[in-house]
Structure 1
Amino acid sequence: MIAQDVIRKKRDKEKLTEEEIRFFVQGSVKGEIKDYQISAFLMAIFLNGMDFEETYYLTKEMVYSGKRFHLKDIKGKKIDKHSTGGVGDKLSLIIAPLAASCGIIVPMISGRGLGHTGGTIDKLESIKGFRSNLKEEEFLNVLKETGFSIISQTDDIAPCDRIFYSIRDVTGTVESIPLITSSIMSKKLAEDLDGLVIDMKVGKGAFMKKLDDAKKLAESMLKVAERFNLKMKIYFTDMNVPLGYGVGNGIEVIESLEILSGELKNDCYELSIEFVKGMCEIAGIRKDPEEYIKNGEGMRRFEKMVRLQGGNLKDIELNKNVSEIKSEKDGLILDIDANKIAQGFLLTGAGRMRKEDKIDYGAGIRLLKFIGESVKKNETLALVYTSREIEKIIPYIRDAYKIGKGNVEKRKRIIEVW
């Protein structure tokens, strides 16, 4: 079997066999199949798709292309949560310690930000000393001690996904349902889970702009999960407006701590509680996650996890160069465009356009005004933390705010639940 034949077959809209997919995945990991051949293979899939059997086999081979965790020795149901990516999405930092407080084991392998969406690992690395690249023994120890651990994808966990994703990002083949399904599910199945909650984001600030497309992806993921006997619950959530007040890295950790400590109740709080309830439902546990905010257990677990992974919560990066973005008119805030805020976020230096880009962990945006609130001319809409040229960022923040007259209905973040 040769790579060209597999590429040609998919190019010609033919169905690949399990053996052909295994050959291509294993050859990619071993370095026997070159990047330009992988690019052609991914583009053929992007253009011509895959049926369910092909998607299942691709996911399966990607899982087995690397190491799988074996968590049977740790008591408790292993449930994780995954977000398809959004703007201001710091929910994992809140959900994981609360779920652990409820008695769930949360072995969370997270990613770094790319493009307009931030990454959980980048947020955590804004905490001085925090280590996300733990060895397996350290990871298992943190799980036993705190009930959860958040680490980055290592070289030996679904290595084919790492190879494919880095190429997809630069070849315009990210938005493919079979490729997204296999990418997400291969990492999660490597965690030895009993269940998974998916936050399927939809809207301007999400990869999936339309609900119909999000549902197609959800159907694909559910079918793969069923084949692997993995229980799954999917929440479709509105990502037209940024989540919470912080968009960045350090600023989002600070907001998460305010929520865990009980100081702040906002949309991030509400969604986090709902998702933890969903995780408890899968685990067969009847507990109220809000109790663990009230009694401080969620915060204590988060502090312990950070400490065990080398971090110091008293030292979170936040850029000292702060600029105020002021309103140009009086009115009511009718909308805040998540995509425009995301473009401003990238210009602050808090995000990366290429995988190799270095980011400013202290850069970001703090929204001060929200939908439904009144604003006066020259009143501050947002604060921008950056060492970069602020004049390039201001138009994106101002344009994101739609200010005028009228009535505003409270938006529901959760659109639908499967």
Structure 2
Amino acid sequence: MTPDITPAPEGSVEPFDAVDVIRTKRDGGVVPEDALRWMIDAYTREYVADSQMAAFAMAVLLNGMTRDEIRVMTDAMIASGERMSFAGLGKRTVDKHSTGGVGDKITLPLAPLVASFGVAVPQLSGRGLGHTGGTLDKLESIPGWRAALSNDEMFAQLEGVGAVICAAGSGLAPADKRLYALRDVTGTVEAIPLIASSIMSKKIAEGTDALVLDVKFGSGAFMRDVDKARELARTMVALGTDSGVATTALLTDMNSPLGLAIGNANEVRESVEVLAGGGPADVVELTVALAREMLALAGQPDADVEKALQDGRAMDAWREMIRAQDGDPDAPLPTPRETHTVTASAGGVVERLDALPFGVAAWRLGAGRARAQDPVVHAAGIDLHVRPGDEVAPGQPLFTLSAEDDKRFARALDALEDAYAIGADAPASTPLVLERITA
């Protein structure tokens, strides 16, 4: 897709000045549409400097943006690159995006489950950084599986199998790629207009008909505060709706890890358990809830998703999806060289398991990366043996750490020093899905 603003010829006069745009937002004003579109385009072609965009991002963090400004900025970011289309596919397309968390492997069982109902699921996913895992890293635990597909390969797989999980091409929203990296080093990651436009520019450019958002809150989430998470969800739903993409969001709890597996290969194992009709109750609950949302947007509000997990249809779609990307669904997954199990020092009830420190510990074990270019250890991670509310006896296993090198255990255990508690009282029951948000 051609950007809305044609780059100025070399030596010509630019129509706006970055300093004026920065001052407008610094003083709490509304940036005019043509000036905001120019700012994004000029930054993409490196006319606007990083220092100027950093100042603008900080002004946005401090003063916010109107709904219309966020819409314009998102649209300008989409226009900075190509826009995909699945119009010739002959079936509805629906995607899911999660804001990320600890043990969040939901995409793996969800995509084939939804595809088993004849809906196309183009799931363009990413890699992990820090304590949140990446979907592509998990799937690369499967021998032979490849993340990089051409557009033609993706289209053919959607036509045949119905589901594809792969890496997004560099041509989608290149403005976001530059701005995303800048936000990370300028203390502006938390700016809701910038988060929303970053996520939605890529999802809208992807060309899906409908989108379901899993917006997490709590200790292991990007947005810890539930009100901030709700604001982000509402902002993204509005952006999708304004762009003609049917969009809903679920606000979900990430105070404790999701499921019992945190890592890469072990999360694949747990996902396969769900597809086989088993798996942890919370993973099944969220997979089913998101599948219902996706299928409702695709015109199938009465789809029996639980039955598709039990009768093998979802598993069949999974196996086809993995094979289509050169993976072997029957191959053994990587196993760790070293393990260390932590046991209960006293009996009682598990009062809490805080998601963030478990995510950090898994990262320190090698399951995650500190820099984008770092490799991950697919066999590294943590397997939980208990959940909040479970009764435990002295000496009972609580969780097992896995790594390739036992020297990694000490730092991982440091992260977990105050991550869990065993006491006399069971924690209050809280819903996994707190709220559904629509336009």
Q: Does TM, scored on the shorter chain, surpass 0.5?
A: yes
Aligned positions, number: 418
Aligned partner of 2:55 in structure 1 is 40
Aligned partner of 1:287 in structure 2 is 303
Q: 2:409 aligns with which of 390, 403, 416?
A: 390
Distance 1:95 1:180 in 2: 24
| Amino-acid identity (%) | 39
Q: Unaligned regions of 5+ residues in structure 1, if any?
A: none
Aligned partner of 2:363 in structure 1 is 346
Distance 1:123 1:240 in 2: 22
State the Cα distance separating 1:281 from its structure 2 match.
1.3
Q: 4+ runs of 1 displaced by more than 4 Å?
A: none
Q: 1:156 aligns with which of 171, 174, 182?
A: 171
Aligned partner of 1:219 in structure 2 is 234
1:146 and 1:301 in contact (8 A); partners too = yes
State the Cα distance separating 1:187 from its structure 2 match.
1.1
2:318 aligned with 1:302: yes
**1:15-414 aligned within 5 A:** 15-285=30-300, 286-313=302-329, 314-386=331-403, 387=405, 388-414=407-433
Q: Secondary structure at the match of 2:350?
A: strand
2:259 and 2:280 in contact (8 A); partners too = no
Q: 1:182-213 CA distances to partner (integer Å, 9 max, x unpaired)?
A: 01111110122221111111111111112211
State the Cα distance separating 1:15 from its structure 2 match.
1.7
- Farther off after superposition, 144-153 or 391-400: 391-400
Distance 2:28 2:372 in 1: 31
Q: Secondary structure at the match of 2:87?
A: coil
State the Cα distance separating 1:16 from its structure 2 match.
1.4
1:327 and 1:398 in contact (8 A); partners too = no
State the Cα distance separating 1:415 from its structure 2 match.
0.9
Distance 1:394 1:219 in 2: 38
The CA RMSD over aligned residues, in Å, is 1.7
1:77 and 1:194 in contact (8 A); partners too = yes
State the Cα distance separating 1:398 from its structure 2 match.
4.9
1:241 and 1:338 in contact (8 A); partners too = yes
Q: 1:207-256 CA distances to partner (integer Å, 9 max, x unpaired)?
A: 11122111211221122122112222211111111100111111111110
2:85 and 2:208 in contact (8 A); partners too = no
Distance 2:154 2:346 in 1: 52
Compared CA separation, residues 331 and 395, structure 1 to 2 (3 A): farther
Q: 1:392-414 CA distances to partner (integer Å, 9 max, x unpaired)?
A: 21243352221010234443201
State the Cα distance separating 1:364 from its structure 2 match.
0.8
2:388 and 2:426 in contact (8 A); partners too = no
**Amino acid across the alignment from 1:328:** S
1:166 and 1:355 in contact (8 A); partners too = no
Distance 1:108 1:146 in 2: 13
- Farther off after superposition, 326-335 or 97-106: 326-335
Q: Secondary structure at the match of 1:333?
A: strand
Aligned partner of 2:6 in structure 1 is none
Distance 1:361 1:19 in 2: 47
State the Cα distance separating 1:115 from its structure 2 match.
2.3
Distance 2:144 2:385 in 1: 30
Compared CA separation, residues 25 and 334, structure 1 to 2 (3 A): same
**Amino acid across the alignment from 1:238:** D
Aligned partner of 2:10 in structure 1 is none
Distance 1:46 1:151 in 2: 32
Q: 2:28 aligns with which of 13, 20, 23?
A: 13
Q: TM-score, normalised by structure 2?
A: 0.91
State the Cα distance separating 1:121 from its structure 2 match.
1.6
Q: TM-score, normalised by structure 1?
A: 0.95
